[in-house]
Amino acid sequence: MDEGGYHEPVLLEEVLELLAPRGAGIFLDGTVGGGGHARALLERCPDCRLLALDRDPDALERAARELAPFGERVLLRPGRFHDAVELFGLLGPVLSGALLDLGVSSAQLDRDTRGFAFRRGVPLDMRMEGASGRGPSGADFLNEADEVELAQIFREYGEEPRWRRLAREVVKRRGTRPFVDSDDLVGALAGALGRAPSNQEKARAFQALRIVVNRELEFLEAALPRIREALAPGGRLAVISYHSLEDRIVKNAFREWSRSCVCPPELPICVCRGVPLGTTLTTKPIRPGADEVRRNPRARSALLRGWRRAA
């Protein structure tokens, strides 16, 4: 993809339909990336304003260029979406809508110098904030985590059937030479499988490491209720997930918020809030159609869900 086509926004029309931007609404884009969804929202709604953030400084720079024509209608901040309320000083329920388009962008994958994908010889950094990011890099994690922890991430986040072997192989290899770059991880995978791994197997192992390095699931869980509380009555939240673990977190949160009673079943009477906090707008996740997947193969795993706060 060239500079102009930094990242084709996934499920764009469907996101706009769920968020229904209109009037002088204030929207949050918690994963602004290259600004594709953001730009479309601002074009669709000429009086809306946008608070946008991203944890990747490169993405933010691109978003700043992309969204410059909208001037003061856009406020951009570096940071993570679970901190959005503090970063923008949101006082109370002010948002008309919010979008989280999870995972990594095409730019992060295409111009990859941080080891997000299995390109040869790239340092295994994987921190979305870049090397200045807090916390261990992908290589640090492989060099330091114990075998049980490694096995758990390859099983849960990578869905690797040979998770136990892969964890053992990583521990064995790092005993003679520390993990440094993408080839080292591919080598360990080949060692565990006893053959050259397929692209899909490589992608799953890299994904597992990326998820743990960036604490992606933990931040998503923390962010959802905070963003919900920042929604104005009738405000909408749309989330695009790219794998089942993310989608399960979103699905369960929306389901729970849409129930009137969340008391444990053994209680004889309801003592909780007793009313739903809002309504799930998507009983099933919205997926891209065949045309979109043909145009943008990275959209193929996208799952979009929406929720509306009670009016």
Ligand X SMILES: C[S@@+](CC[C@H](N)C(=O)[O-])C[C@H]1O[C@@H](n2cnc3c(N)ncnc32)[C@H](O)[C@@H]1O
Between 114 and 165, CB nearer to ligand X:
114
Closest CB 58 distance from ligand X, rounded Å: 8
Closest CB 54 distance from ligand X, rounded Å: 4
Closest CB 35 distance from ligand X, rounded Å: 5
Closest CB 76 distance from ligand X, rounded Å: 12
Cβ pair 288, 300 in contact under 8 A: yes
Tokens of 252: 């369960």
- Three-class HEC string of 24-45: CCEEEECCCCCCHHHHHHHHHC
As a whole number of angstroms, the distance between CA 303 and CA 293 comes to: 13
Torsional sign, CA 70, 28, 306, 24: negative
Q: Where are the alpha helices (DSSP H) in the chain?
A: 12-19, 36-44, 57-67, 84-87, 106-110, 138-144, 147-156, 163-174, 182-193, 199-213, 216-230, 244-257, 290-295
Tell me which residues touch ligand X (CB under 6 A): 7, 9, 30-31, 33-37, 53-56, 59, 80-81, 101, 103-105, 128, 219
Q: What is the three-class DSSP state of 221?
A: helix
Between 35 and 158, CB nearer to ligand X:
35
Between 12 and 189, CB nearer to ligand X:
12
Closest CB 56 distance from ligand X, rounded Å: 4
Between 219 and 310, CB nearer to ligand X:
219
